[in-house]
A and B are shown apart, each in its own frame.
Chain A
Amino acid sequence: MAKTDFGPPDFREMIPPVIKENYGNWKYHTVPRPGVLKHVSHTGAVMHSVRVASPRLVSSDFIRNISDIAEKYCDGFLRFTTRNNVEFLVSDESQLQPLIAELDEKNYLIGGVGLSISNVVHTQGWIHCKSAVTDASGITKGIMDDMADYFTGKIKVPARLRIAVACCVNMCGACHCSDISIVGIHRTIPIINHELASKICEVPTTVASCPTGAIRPNPKEKSILINGEKCMMCGNCTAVCPAIKIMDPVNDGVSIWVGGKVSNARTAPMFSRLAIPFISNNPPRWPEVTDAVKHLVEVWAANARDGERMGEWIGRIGWEKFFKITDLPFTDKHIDDFTHATTTFRSTTQFKF
């Protein structure tokens, strides 16, 4: 039997000597050009990191290619970022320009550092998930084709902008705290296969799974019943009972949320809030979604002050003005009716007309 419980490879065996020698002793960093970080230690030691875009879903070819490049210029040392970029860790400064030249030649996009739009954090989608309402990889590709100049630093933005895509409301990744997030949603109540349910449904678990108490037992059919008026189409019941189906290709689609952040810089972390309640799935490129994202980015970039994240900008101008200048309709769908709804109702006469 194979050994167990030995844990991941120790990262300390996979960091370059310059990191070992300067671990915890870095003094500052600069961004000498878009996509390149220069870290300087208290000892004067220097390391450059060159960041390139990755589609996240990659092949063995991709893995071997980046490994070969890392071996050629970085003594084999590289890492990934929390936003799925690849970083080549350059200890020998004379290797920096040759590395960049080879990356350019091979069409890797260098960027995603500082005042830019970095890679999208996204979920699995139709490629490999049972609960995907949409395909995150396709939407991401569509969005980032539009945003490539923001990634590479050709177009500047007032502050960082983080985009996330989640294929369903499970929101793997920090979608609910992103500057712009795209979330797959259902709009129709689940359908129960009673015959199958009578054989495999764990009724008490399924009843308990519903956050709104919309599910009750159906003893007559040894199944369950869903109260459509209470159901909010979260899909949690479908995760516990395979006899319940919620996928509806005609009515499923995505929603767009704005203004979230996780950083504590200046302002506290914020949730993303609903901007656009629904856009139909339109593969392969989801043009209505990518246009909406482009529009949101452009309006923010044109109006925000330097250093103002999307949510900080909206916080300053107010949501009423946000809807006005983005020309997005505010509807009944924008008013919260779940757990924390009342905390979102305005209790001041301070507002703009």
Chain B
Amino acid sequence: MDEKKTPLLDELEKGPWPSFVTEMKKAAATNEGAKDLLHMLEKSYEDKLGHWKHGGIVGVKGYGGGVVGRYCDLPEDFPNIKEFHTIRVNQPAGFFYTADKLRELADVWDKYGSGLYNMHGSTGDAILLGTTTANLQPCVDELSEIGFDLGGSGGALRTLSSCVGQARCEKACIDSTGIMHDLTMHYQNEMHRPSWPYKFKIKISACANDCCAASARSDLAVIGTWRDTLKIDMEAVREYVGKGFKIDKLIRKCPTEALEWDAEKQELNVNGEDCVRCMHCINVMPKAISIGSERGATLLVGGKAPVVKGAMIGWVLVPFIKMEAPYTELKDVVDKLTDWWADRAKNRERISELIGRMGLANFLADVGLKPLPQMVHAPRSNPYISWTAEEVNKNG
């Protein structure tokens, strides 16, 4: 057979940015699956149409998820990707690897799969991109021998994700990688055996900069914060100012006007009660301003992408929670939320949609949380207040 050409994809090997097409070609040089994938993608570029079919259930022993079935709709043209399933490999917290560990992963995947990866998928897993049904079990068996377990899929706890946290960030208020690893180990059953109405995601960012986008894309976002006052190193502030740092601009950007600069005394003061811990001043003056000492996390519930009822950014659920191993209080919240949701949700209904349907106040009552002003932008502006029978005088 003549070597098929890929003129459209070849265009994407030009330019300064590293090319995924070059990567596909490297894999295709030694792997028939990767070769068919490359050529089917060329066809998609011609047709302006994907060629993957609807789902198809595949699995490995002992697990209800972690592998995702993929079948192409042109099996006769591309027989080597007739079955081309995804394996979701749970990434180490903070995406830390050693060269040896990565090589071991590549050895297994070269043996059983396409030699192509997403490092990493949107949720966080290391995605092994394409293998046959027959190869799934032996591949997963060998992955387990080198210490890699599967991630979540379907109506399950999805693979957790975190920022780099205390491993390499001075702004980290909590041990985001440690929490991620602890929760992942604790909730192995919930991750591997889908038993919920839809996905449930937990992500952990160690400060309000939210580097892993927890509030936008996780049903439960854990965001590090503090509840005393940020710390100012006055000598370091003066050093910044001496070198031409525009302190007026810093003051102006503070969202609650909690910072004051005394030009005469060369003193930067913060009104701790008014500070909303947005991180801006710490971000721009990292040597002079640092996070407070009484550290913990804010929990937000309900972040998600549009499907089904619209995108959400997580809502404040617990303004402050201590974050010390073994994170019993956090796990208690996770259990309450997932139990409440799993009992009531419709198929493919995320927790924020369910809260929207049932009412935030009802949800809070059910899970035993006290309503707090931190949970809302503003109180209700309509008079349609609900009262329970116990709250009114039945004889009135």
Contact = CB atoms under 8 A, between A and B. Distances in A.
A299 to B, nearest CB: 22
Interface stretch (A57-65, A92-100, A215-223, A327-335): A57-65
A2 B175 CA distance: 31
B120 interface: yes
Nearest to B7: A284
A83 to B, nearest CB: 9
A80 B311 contact: no
Contact of A24 (B90, B172, B181, B348): B172
Given A55-B18, A78-B97, 18 more contacts: A26-B169, A56-B119, A57-B129, A61-B27, A67-B102, A79-B164, A81-B95, A126-B44, A126-B49, A127-B41, A142-B12, A145-B14, A147-B17, A171-B307, A173-B217, A238-B54, A262-B214, A264-B277
B96 A263 contact: no
Most buried by B among A4, A9, A24, A145: A9
A164 to B, nearest CB: 9
Interface string A40-71: 00000001010001111111111110111011
B368 interface: no
A209 B19 contact: no
A84 B286 CA distance: 25
Contacts of A108: 18
12 contacts: A7-B184, A7-B185, A55-B17, A62-B26, A70-B98, A127-B129, A128-B70, A130-B55, A130-B70, A141-B15, A211-B308, A265-B209
A64 B103 contact: yes
Contacts of B100: 67, 76
Interface stretch (B142-150, B261-269, B332-340, B387-395): B142-150
Contacts of A56: 20, 118-120
Contacts of B117: 57-60, 63
Given A9-B92, A47-B168, A123-B122, A63 B17 contact: no
B221 to A, nearest CB: 10
A269 B313 contact: yes
A78 B99 contact: yes
Contacts of B209: 263-265
B50 A132 contact: yes
A285 B44 contact: no
Contacts of A127: 20, 37, 41, 129
B73 to A, nearest CB: 9
Nearest to B185: A7
A7 B90 CA distance: 7
Interface string A1-32: 11111111111101100010001101111100
Interface in A144-178: 144-145, 147-148, 151, 166, 169-177
B226 interface: no
Interface of B: 8-9, 11-12, 14-24, 26-27, 34, 37, 41, 44-45, 47-55, 61-63, 70, 84, 86, 89-103, 105-106, 109-110, 115-123, 129-130, 140-141, 144-145, 147-149, 161, 163-164, 166-170, 172, 175, 177, 181, 184-185, 188-189, 192, 208-217, 223, 249, 253, 255, 277-280, 283-284, 286-287, 290, 305-311, 313, 346-348
A270 B180 CA distance: 25
A260 B286 CA distance: 25
A129 B50 contact: yes
Q: Which 9 interchain pairs have the tightest Cβ spacing?
A: A145-B15, A67-B99, A76-B99, A264-B208, A171-B305, A174-B213, A126-B44, A24-B166, A242-B54
B278 to A, nearest CB: 5
B12 A80 contact: no
B167 A80 contact: no
A60 B50 contact: no
B49 A240 contact: no
Nearest to B10: A284
A199 interface: no
Contacts of B129: 57, 127-128
A314 interface: no
A126 B161 CA distance: 25
A125 B21 CA distance: 13
B48 A281 contact: yes
Contact of B215 (A19, A250, A262): A262
A10 B101 CA distance: 12
Nearest to A250: B48
A70 B99 contact: yes
Contact of A284 (B9, B90, B118, B175): B9
Contact of B307 (A24, A147, A236): A236
A141 B192 contact: no
A53 B103 CA distance: 20
Contacts of B211: 82
A126 B168 contact: no
A240 B348 contact: yes
Contacts of B21: 141
Nearest to A7: B185
A80 B54 CA distance: 31
A14 B18 CA distance: 26
Nearest to A25: B166
Contact of B91 (A8, A148, A166): A8
A109 B8 CA distance: 24
A176 B52 contact: no
Given A6-B149, A59-B26, A130 B53 contact: yes
B216 A262 contact: yes
B17 A148 contact: yes
A318 B301 CA distance: 30
